[in-house]
């Protein structure tokens, strides 16, 4: 009698624990249903339970199989896969484990998990192929070139075709690809595969038609970098107390930005202002950063929340407070965000502030200059200023001055008095004498 | 004969009256005794003492679910019932009633300032888990100063990540102190009383808020001390024996006890005013599982009325004693209400787990401060 009762009790307990995992049939076939739980509440815990679902498969499958009646077992004998092949199938396609709504169960938060048991039906599916397709772009370009620099005419034409292909890809990603003109110098890093479809030789020149597969992911990575898009401006950190400049310089270098110590070669000035506020025995530090460009355009502001950290007043507390505010991850994140949006703003305004200086009387016709600037669409908001005996052409551009030397400068020299030549080139100034 | 008839009638009406009383207003809260005209502690009736009629919904219940909660302390959704208001406590300069007595024995009462007890009140209030408290405790700065030495900037920044807590409300405590002198032939008696009111105001607009409203609290000497200990004997303007009304320390000691009791009563009323609510996840037999615990302010031994919320109607189905963990609670239904809904749920819970449907959710709402919590956590002595 007691034994029967124990057995009964066991059966009840057994069925209770098993209700958590079962094998069910739906229109899509047989599936394993169970719940994956994790202690706690909130989205982080739901994620934990979802991530942990795969670990629960083995136990759930085992107990769900044990719960089958003998007739069900006979019916399903041929349909149920081995545990190992089920796990392999999940490994090759984690999307098979479908998680549904979350629900609370005591101190745990659970997600409902559904795992189809028919392995073949799902094979070969999966949406990752689409993603890869999005990373590649096939373009067909035609280019003509003469033999030069040790390259045969057809080699040069092929190179020019790849350059064009990269340019086309860039045009799809950004409105103005001019800051990325230097990427054309080595186009092959963005082309995963190419094929020459046609090749015509005519005298010294060759014309080729090339089909090129562009690596759009790599192009995207570079084109969507605010720093590169703004024309790689050079930063100067200005703080009244030099010790406050150092940590910010370190932060900028960490971002991969160029730093200078001289005001002349700076494109952007990051100004640091601090104010120590002491109330009673506690001190707080108000810290503000402003981002200005060479033409005094305000690119960004950031202020800390002084009340977050209040420390006992003592000597050197200002440095300590500065260090703590800057070490805060949230602050670092918001400073970097401010820098990035400043760079984006700079890029939208047309790029770095740049100057070309030439002697006052060498420019014969302003109209000629205007026409020239109109042809170079990467020159933004040009202005002609007079500075003593010099004429200054101030403008914004995202293109590096080295590239300007190859593009704008030869044409500018052509309309200037032919006695002048480029005297000096810096990152934000070209002097012609 | 006629006389007998009247007697029977009286007896009958008495019976009817008595019947009415036990069957009349539902009682889910009780009050402790207090000295003449003073306030008592308010507490929830233990679930086992509930009659069928007592199982009714207390005021200020809530039917908010946790669906919108982010469970992040500093970033809780405004509609999440777990979001707590940040409170800063202020105590106004206590007022002493004026006396014309040239002897001015009230000077010792006037000297007493209960603001020094504010930190204590903060500590007790935060234990209720209804608010987050920004402390006005000045010790914090010096404690922190020692602790942060030798900590790296990054470590300190990480620990201070929670940021600064700005109060949503200021809670102000106003106190009026009164002293009454009862002069007899040779024996005199002093009887102090403290009157408290608690106000909640928006510190940015100075708007006083109507909720929570704990009303007026009065504490008399008799609540904290037998009155015979307040007797004294005087001769030619000098206290010869008994309680020295001119001794500021002796007066402070009594007034401190009274303030402390006043705060306790305020807390007990606040818990009636702001009951803890939780959603019932399931019932198995008499056992219930709730989705919230300490995080929603549920206290140990909490008496909670369980109600079904369906189509805009709240139908009480039973009363339970509940114990919380940090994020959930478990309880036992001590009495089911004698109603069809309660029987249906009880029947389903008997054979397995009753899980409330989406259109008929079950909630639990606390009826008042648990008595054991008042005795062991709010009052120092265990006596109320």
Strand, helix or coil at B9?
Answer: helix
CB-based contact A51:A36 (threshold 8 Å): no
Measured distance CA(B192)–CA(A262) in Å, rounded? 76
* Facing residue for B154 by CB, picked from A305, A309, A327: A327
Q: Considering CB atoms only, which of B142, B289, B325 is closest to A312?
A: B142
For chain B, give the mean pLDDT: 85
How far B284 CA sits from the closest chain A CA (Å)? 12
Mean pLDDT of B153-174: 84
**Nearest-CA distance from B164 to chain A in Å?**
5
Q: Both ends of chain A: CA-CA distance in Å?
A: 114
pLDDT on residue B309: 93
Do the chains contact at B164 and A307, CB–CB below 8 Å?
yes
Contact B157 A329 (CB under 8 A): yes
What is the model's pLDDT at position B26?
83
Q: Do A42 and B69 touch (CB under 8 A)?
A: yes
**Greater pLDDT, B138 or B355:** B355
Partner-chain contact A307 B71, CB within 8 Å? no
| Distance to chain B for A46, nearest Cα, Å | 11
User: CA-based Rg of chain A, rounded to a whole angstrom?
Assistant: 34
Q: What's the predicted TM-score (pTM) here? A: 0.70
Q: Which residues of B touch A (CB under 8 A)?
A: 66, 69-72, 141-142, 144-145, 148, 152-154, 156-158, 160-161, 163-164, 281, 289, 291, 293, 325-328, 330
User: What pLDDT shows up at residue B2?
Assistant: 43
Could you tell me where the DSSP H helices lie in A301-429? 317-327, 329-349, 366-375, 401-406, 408-415
Instruction: Please tell me the distance from the alpha carbon of residue B319 to that of residue A293, in angstroms, as a whole number.
Output: 70
Q: What is the mean pLDDT of residues B156-175?
A: 83
Per-residue pLDDT averaged across A39-68, rounded? 90
Shortest Cα–Cα distance, B285 to chain A (Å): 14
Residue of chain A whose Cα is closest to the Cα of B154: A327
Q: Rounded CA gap, B349 and B360, in Å?
A: 15
Can you tell me the ipTM of this complex?
Answer: 0.75
Kindly tell me if the per-residue pLDDT of B289 is higher than 90: yes
Choose, out of A324, A332, A333, the residue to mutate when testing the contact with B (most B CBs < 10 Å). A324
- Chain B residues lying within 8 Å of A107, measured CB to CB: 293, 325-328
How far, in whole angstroms, is CA B2 from its chain's centroid?
54
Are B154 and A331 a contacting pair at CB < 8 A?
no
Model confidence band, residue B163 (pLDDT cutoffs 50, 70, 90) = low
Residue-level pLDDT at A4: 41
Residue B94 has pLDDT above 70, yes or no: yes
Contact residues on chain B for A44, CB-CB shorter than 8 A = 71
pLDDT at A181 exceeding the cut of 90:
no
Distance from CA of B327 to the nearest CA of A (A): 6
Q: Which of residues A308 and A49 earns the better pLDDT score?
A: A49
B212 vs B317, higher pLDDT = B317
Residue A239: per-residue pLDDT: 93
Shortest CA distance from A13: residue in chain B = B352
pLDDT value of residue A357 = 93
Q: Roughly what angle, to the nearest 10 degrees, separates helices A216-223 and A128-135?
A: 70
How far, CA to CA in Å, does A293 sit from each of A265, A343, A351, B192, B247?
12, 10, 10, 72, 72
The nearest alpha carbon in chain A to B324 belongs to A107
Q: Is A411 left (phi over 0), alpha (psi -120 to 50) or beta?
A: alpha
Interface test with chain A among B157, B323, B356, by most A beta carbons within 10 Å: B157
pLDDT at A289 over 90: yes
The reply to whether residue A281 touches residue B142, judged by beta carbons under 8 angstroms, is yes
Confidence check: pLDDT of B151 > 90:
no
Q: What was the pLDDT predicted at B101?
A: 60
What per-residue confidence (pLDDT) applies to A300? 93
Q: How far apart are the first and last CA of chain B?
A: 52
Of residues B21 and B149, more confidently modeled:
B149
Stretch B179-207: mean pLDDT, rounded?
88
Nearest CA to CA, how far is B330 from chain A (Å)? 8
Contacts of A105 in chain B (CB under 8 A): 281, 289
Q: Is the pLDDT of residue B244 over 70?
A: yes
Residue numbers in A near B355 (CB within 8 A): none
In this prediction, residue A18 carries a pLDDT of 35
DSSP string computed for A189-241: GGEEEEEEEEEEEETTEEEEEEEEEEEHHHHHHHHT-HHHHTT-PEEEEEESS
Q: Are strands B277-284 and A352-359 parallel, antiparallel or unpaired?
A: unpaired
Cβ contact A309–B328 (<8 Å): no
Q: What is the mean pLDDT of residues B178-194?
A: 85
Q: Give residue A134's pLDDT.
A: 59
Between residues A399 and B318, the one the model is more confident about: B318
pLDDT of A271 over the 80 cut: yes
Cα distance between residue B383 and residue A9, in whole Å: 47
CB atoms within 10 A of CB B332: 13
Say what percent of chain B tops pLDDT 70: 89
Residue A69: predicted pLDDT: 85
Chain A residues near residue B325 by CB distance under 8 angstroms: 107
Phi first, then psi: give them for residue A274, nearest 5 degrees: -130, 150
Residues of A with CB under 8 A from a CB of B: 40-45, 104-107, 281-282, 305, 307-312, 320, 323-331
pLDDT band at A122 (very low <50, low <70, confident <90, very high): very low
Give A81's pLDDT tier (boundaries 50, 70, 90): confident
Q: Are A346 and A224 in contact (CB under 8 A)?
A: no
Cβ contact B144–A312 (<8 Å): yes
pLDDT at A133 over 70: no
B123 C-beta neighbours (distance < 10 Å), count? 12
Minimum-distance CB partner of A107 among B72, B163, B327:
B327
């Amino acid at each position: 009698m007691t034994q029967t009762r124990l057995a009964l009790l066991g059966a009840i307990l057994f069925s209770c624990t098993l209700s958590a995992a079962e094998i069910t049939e739906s229109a899509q076939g047989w599936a394993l249903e169970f719940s994956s739980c994790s202690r706690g509440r909130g989205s982080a815990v739901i994620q934990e339970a979802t991530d942990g679902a795969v670990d629960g498969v083995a136990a759930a499958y085992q107990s769900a199989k044990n719960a089958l009646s003998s007739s069900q077992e006979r019916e399903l004998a041929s349909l149920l896969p081995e545990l190992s092949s089920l796990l392999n199938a999940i490994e090759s396609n984690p999307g098979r484990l479908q998680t549904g709504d979350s629900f609370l169960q005591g101190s745990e938060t659970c997600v409902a998990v559904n795992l189809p048991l028919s392995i073949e039906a799902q094979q070969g599916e999966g949406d990752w192929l689409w993603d890869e397709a999005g990373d590649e772009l096939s373009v067909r370009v035609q280019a003509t070139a003469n033999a030069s620099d040790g390259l045969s005419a057809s080699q040069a034409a092929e190179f020019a075709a790849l350059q064009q292909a990269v340019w086309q890809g860039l045009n799809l990603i950004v409105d103005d690809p001019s800051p990325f003109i230097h990427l054309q110098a080595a186009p092959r890093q963005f082309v995963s595969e190419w094929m020459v479809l046609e090749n015509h030789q005519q005298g010294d020149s060759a014309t080729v038609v090339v089909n090129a597969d562009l690596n759009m992911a790599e192009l995207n990575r570079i084109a969507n970098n605010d720093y590169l898009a703004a024309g790689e401006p050079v930063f100067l950190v200005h703080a009244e107390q030099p010790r406050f400049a150092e940590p910010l310089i370190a932060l900028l270098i960490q971002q991969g930005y160029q730093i200078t110590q001289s005001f002349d070669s700076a494109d952007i000035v990051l100004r640091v202002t601090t104010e120590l506020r002491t109330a009673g025995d506690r001190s707080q530090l108000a810290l503000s950063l402003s981002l200005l460009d060479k033409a005094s355009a305000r690119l960004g502001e950031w202020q800390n929340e002084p009340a977050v950290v209040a420390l006992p007043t003592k000597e050197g507390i200002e440095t300590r407070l500065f260090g703590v505010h800057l070490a805060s991850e949230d602050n670092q994140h918001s400073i970097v965000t401010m820098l990035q949006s400043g760079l984006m703003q700079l890029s939208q305004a047309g790029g770095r502030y740049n100057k070309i200086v030439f002697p006052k009387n060498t420019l014969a016709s302003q109209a000629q200059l205007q026409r020239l600037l109109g042809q170079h669409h990467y020159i933004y908001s040009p202005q002609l200023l007079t500075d003593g005996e010099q004429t200054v052409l101030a403008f914004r551009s995202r293109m590096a001055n080295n590239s300007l030397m190859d593009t704008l400068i030869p044409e500018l020299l052509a309309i200037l008095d032919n006695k002048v030549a480029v005297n000096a080139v810096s990152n934000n100034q070209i002097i012609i004498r | 004969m006629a006389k007998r008839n009247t007697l029977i009638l009286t007896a009958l009406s008495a019976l009817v009256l008595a019947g009415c009383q036990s069957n009349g207003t539902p009682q889910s809260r009780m009050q402790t005794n207090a000295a003449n005209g003073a306030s008592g502690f308010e507490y929830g009736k233990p679930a086992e003492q509930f009659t069928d009629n007592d199982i009714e919904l207390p005021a200020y219940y809530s039917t908010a679910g946790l669906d919108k909660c982010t469970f992040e302390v500093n970033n809780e959704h405004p509609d999440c019932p777990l979001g707590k208001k940040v409170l800063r406590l202020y105590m106004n300069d206590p007022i002493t009633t004026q006396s014309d007595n040239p002897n001015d024995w009230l000077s010792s009462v006037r000297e007493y300032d209960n603001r020094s007890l504010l930190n204590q009140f903060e500590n007790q209030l935060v234990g209720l888990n209804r608010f987050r408290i920004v402390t006005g405790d000045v010790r914090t700065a010096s404690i922190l100063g020692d602790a942060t030495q030798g900590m790296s900037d990054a470590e300190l920044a990480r620990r201070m990540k929670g940021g600064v807590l700005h109060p949503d409300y200021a809670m102000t405590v106003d106190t009026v102190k009164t002293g009454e002198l009862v002069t007899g032939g040779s024996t005199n008696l002093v009887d102090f009383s403290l009157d408290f009111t608690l106000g909640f105001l928006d510190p940015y607009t100075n708007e006083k808020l109507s909720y929570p409203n704990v009303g007026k609290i009065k504490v008399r000497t008799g609540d904290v001390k037998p009155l015979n200990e307040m007797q004294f004997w005087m001769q030619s303007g000098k206290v010869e024996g008994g309680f020295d009304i001119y001794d500021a320390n002796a007066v402070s000691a009594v007034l401190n006890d009274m303030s402390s009791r006043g705060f306790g009563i305020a807390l007990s009323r606040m818990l009636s005013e702001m009951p803890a609510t939780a959603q019932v996840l399931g019932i198995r037999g008499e056992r219930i599982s709730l989705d919230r615990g300490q995080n929603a302010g549920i206290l140990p031994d909490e008496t909670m009325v369980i109600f079904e919320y369906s189509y805009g109607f709240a139908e009480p189905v039973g009363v339970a004693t509940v114990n919380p963990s940090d994020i959930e609670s478990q309880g036992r239904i001590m009495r089911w209400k004698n109603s069809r809904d309660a029987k249906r749920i009880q029947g389903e819970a008997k054979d397995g787990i009753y899980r409330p449907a989406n259109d008929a959710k079950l909630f639990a709402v606390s009826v008042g401060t648990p008595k054991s919590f008042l005795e062991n956590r709010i009052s120092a002595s265990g006596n109320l």
